[in-house]
Amino acid sequence: MTVLDLDGPDARHPGLVGGKAANLAELRAAGFDVPSGFCVTTDAYRRAADAAGLDEVLGRAEDAALAAAARKALLAVPIAPDVEAAVAEAYERLGDRVPVAVRSSATAEDLPSASFAGQQDTYLNVVGTEAVLDAVRRCWASLWTDRAASYRASAGIDGHEVALAVVVQRMADARVAGVLFTADPVSGRRTRSVIDASPGLGEAVVSGAVNPDHVVVEGSTIDYRPGDKAVEVRAVPGGGTEQVAGSDRRGERALTDDEVRALVALGRRVEAHYGAPQDIEWAIDTAGAVRLTQSRPITTLHPLPEPSGPGLRAYLCLSLAQGLTRPITPMGIAAFRVIGAAGSRLGFGIPADELAGPSALAVAGGRVFVDVTAALRNAVGRRIVPRILDVMEARSAVVLRKLMDEPAFAVRTRSPWSFARRVLRVLVRYRVPLQIGRALAAPAAARRRVRRVGDGLTAALPPATTGLERHDRALALLGRVFPVLPTVAPVAGAGFLALGLARALAGPEIDARTTHDLLRSLPHNVTTEMDLELWQVAVRLRADDPSVARLRAGSGPLPELLRDELDRFLRRHGHRAVAEIDIGVPRWRDDPSYVLGVLAGYLRLAIDGDRASTPDAMFARGAAAAEKAVADVVARVRRRSRPRALVVGWALQRTRELAGLRETHKDHLVRLIAAARTDLVAVGAELAGRGLLAEADDVFFLDLAEARSALLGADHRDVVAQRREDHARELRRRHVPRVLLSDGTEPEALSAPAAGDGALVGTPASAGEVTGLARVVLDPADAHLEPGEILVVPSTDPGWTPLFLTAGGLVMEMGGANSHGAVVAREYGIPAVVGVPDATGVITTGQRITVDGAAGSVLLTPA
Give the residue numbers annotated as catalytic, written as ranges: 820
One-letter amino acid of 260: V
| Residue 776, Ramachandran bin (φ over 0: left; ψ between -120 and 50: alpha; else beta) | beta
Q: Which amino acid is at 17?
A: V
* Angle subtended by helix axes 642-658 and 432-441, to nearest 10: 110
Positions of E strands within 189-260: 192-199, 213-218, 221-225, 231-235, 241-245
Sign of CA dihedral 484, 488, 490, 492: negative
The answer to whether the beta carbons of residues 419 and 380 sit under 8 Å apart is yes
Q: Are 722 and 366 in contact (CB under 8 A)?
A: no
Give me the amino acid identity at 56.
E
Residue 358 and residue 340 in contact, taking contact as beta carbons nearer than 8 Å: yes
| Single-letter code of the amino acid located at 127 | V
Q: Are 828 and 528 in contact (CB under 8 A)?
A: yes
Q: 280 near 294, Cβ under 8 Å? A: yes
The three-state secondary structure class of 861 is coil
Shortest CA distance to 582 belongs to which of 363, 328, 327? 328
**How far is the C-alpha of 536 from the C-alpha of 521, rounded, in Å?**
17
Q: CA 586, 591, 594, 599 torsion: positive or negative?
A: positive
How far is residue 469 from each of residues 330, 621, 680, measured CA to CA in Å?
Answer: 21, 51, 10
DSSP 251-318: TS-SS-HHHHHHHHHHHHHHHHHHTS-EEEEEEEETT--EEEEEEEE-TTSPPPPPP-SSS--EEEEH
Task: For residue 768, list its beta bridge partners.
Answer: none
Give dist(CA 298, CA 274) in Å, integer.
12
Q: What SS3 state is found at 703?
A: coil
* Alpha-carbon distances, residue 92 vs 41, 88, 134, 136, 230 (angstroms): 18, 6, 16, 15, 36
Say whether 100 sits in a helix, a strand or coil: strand
Rounded to the nearest 10 degrees, what angle do helices 417-429 and 432-441 cross at?
A: 50
Report the 10 Å Cβ neighbour count for 101.
22
Task: Give the count of alpha carbons within 13 A of 363, CB side only.
Answer: 17
Amino acid letter, 539? V
| Strand order across the beta sheet in which 759-761 lies | 755-756, 759-761, 857-860, 848-852, 769-776, 790-793, 809-812, 832-834, 763-766
Q: What separation in angstroms does the CA of 351 have from each of 476, 592, 593?
A: 18, 40, 42
In angstroms, rounded to a whole number, what is the distance separating the alpha carbons of residues 663 and 667?
Answer: 6
Counted residue by residue, the chain has a size of: 863
| Calpha distance 8→28 (Å, rounded) | 9
Point out which residues pair with 103 in neighbouring strands: 122, 167
Q: How far apart are CA 44 and CA 81, in angstroms?
A: 11
- Give Rg (Cα) of the chain: 31
